[in-house]
């Protein structure tokens, strides 16, 4: 018997719906936003592969709207979920990890919403596992013959992470430990924000160095992949292909100039 779930990532909700509206207005706007994303027949489960938005209270309201439709919402973090945007946010949280911990705490008050930070969850015999993952710069190092320092400088100069993530960047090695544990777990669906497979990204960016920031080297894992679907985000370019018998899907919403008309997609897991 096949099984299905719905997928979206990179919602960046604060780019779509103004923050700091009075509560009743915010709820209405977020509800309309969520309705506009829904497929005609939503599944029981929604997977969000990272990047909710920059403001925890707004994220929470959005998740409540999703919860009115979905029995389960399963999500992992993306780089933007660590951003401290604005002086108020920087003053309140000081360190990005404090904002993410608060988000997890807020989510724990919602029944049926689960954050995967290296964990797994099984719903109706289908096991989802996930973690945000980070960048190992390996596309730059292995393919573009750059040094680690050169890729790092490129990332610092061209990506907002360096400016908006405070109190230390996530460590790739820490994420890799979680990822390796997931790879030896009996999984059906893997959820990461950053893709372990850079091959489909080739040709999608004007500057190829971007791929070093949009992927990590998961080739050795993909060679022994034992799950059916890998969901990822971070890049806002859509992908859907099969490799080693695993379906890799990106269904990012992205920013308003990219995401108009995009919707949540239903993914069918073959039996």
Q: Interface residues with Fe ion (CB under 5 A)?
A: 51, 78-79, 234
Phi, psi of 212 (to 5 degrees): -65, -20
CA pseudo-torsion sign 144, 221, 100, 250: positive
CB of 252 to Fe ion, least distance (A): 8
Q: What totals of helices (H) and strands (E) does the chain contain, helices first?
A: 12, 11
> Phi-psi category of 92—alpha, beta or left, where left has phi over 0 and alpha has psi -120 to 50?
alpha
Question: Which residue lies nearer to Fe ion by CB, 53 or 78?
Answer: 78
CA distance 192 to 55: 21
Question: Which residue lies nearer to Fe ion by CB, 78 or 218?
Answer: 78
CB of 178 to Fe ion, least distance (A): 17
CB of 213 to Fe ion, least distance (A): 10
Question: Which residue lies nearer to Fe ion by CB, 42 or 78?
Answer: 78
CB of 10 to Fe ion, least distance (A): 6
Question: Which residue lies nearer to Fe ion by CB, 42 or 233?
Answer: 233
Q: Which residue has the tokens 């779509």?
A: 16
Question: Which residue lies nearer to Fe ion by CB, 63 or 252?
Answer: 252
CA pseudo-torsion sign 160, 17, 53, 76: negative
Question: Which residue lies nearer to Fe ion by CB, 56 or 79?
Answer: 79
CB of 76 to Fe ion, least distance (A): 11
CA distance 76 to 12: 14
Question: Which residue lies nearer to Fe ion by CB, 26 or 253?
Answer: 253
CB of 77 to Fe ion, least distance (A): 9
The number of residues making up the chain comes to 271
Return the bridge partners of 5, or none: 267
Q: Are 17 and 32 in contact (CB under 8 A)?
A: no
The angle subtended at Cα 263 by Cα 262 and Cα 269, nearest 5°, is 125
Phi, psi of 71 (to 5 degrees): -75, -35
CB of 190 to Fe ion, least distance (A): 17
Q: Are 206 and 245 in contact (CB under 8 A)?
A: no
Q: Are 175 and 131 in contact (CB under 8 A)?
A: yes
């Amino acid at each position: 018997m096949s099984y299905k779930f719905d997928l979206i990532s990179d919602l960046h909700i604060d780019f779509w719906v103004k923050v700091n509206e009075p509560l009743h207005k915010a709820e209405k706007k977020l509800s309309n936003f969520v309705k506009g994303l829904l497929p005609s027949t939503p599944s029981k489960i929604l997977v969000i592969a990272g990047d909710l938005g920059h403001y925890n209270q707004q994220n929470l309201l959005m998740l409540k709207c999703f919860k009115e439709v979905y029995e389960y919402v399963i999500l992992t973090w993306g780089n933007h979920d660590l951003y401290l945007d604005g002086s108020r946010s920087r003053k309140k949280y000081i360190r990005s990890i404090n904002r993410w911990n608060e988000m997890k705490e807020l989510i724990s008050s919602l029944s049926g919403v689960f954050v995967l930070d290296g964990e797994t969850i099984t719903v109706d015999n289908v096991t989802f596992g996930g973690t945000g993952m980070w960048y190992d710069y390996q596309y730059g190092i292995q393919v573009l013959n750059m040094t680690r320092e050169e890729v790092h400088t490129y990332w610092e100069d061209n990506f907002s992470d360096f400016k908006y993530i405070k109190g230390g960047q996530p460590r790739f090695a820490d994420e890799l430990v979680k990822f390796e544990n997931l790879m030896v777990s009996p999984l059906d669906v893997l959820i990461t924000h950053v893709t372990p497979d850079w091959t489909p990204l080739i040709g999608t960016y004007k500057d190829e160095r971007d791929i070093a920031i949009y992927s990590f080297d998961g080739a050795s894992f993909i060679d022994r992949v034992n799950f059916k679907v890998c969901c990822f985000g971070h890049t806002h370019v859509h992908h859907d292909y099969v490799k080693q018998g695993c379906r890799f899907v990106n269904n990012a919403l992205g920013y308003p100039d990219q995401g108009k008309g995009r919707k949540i997609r239903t993914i069918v897991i073959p039996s």
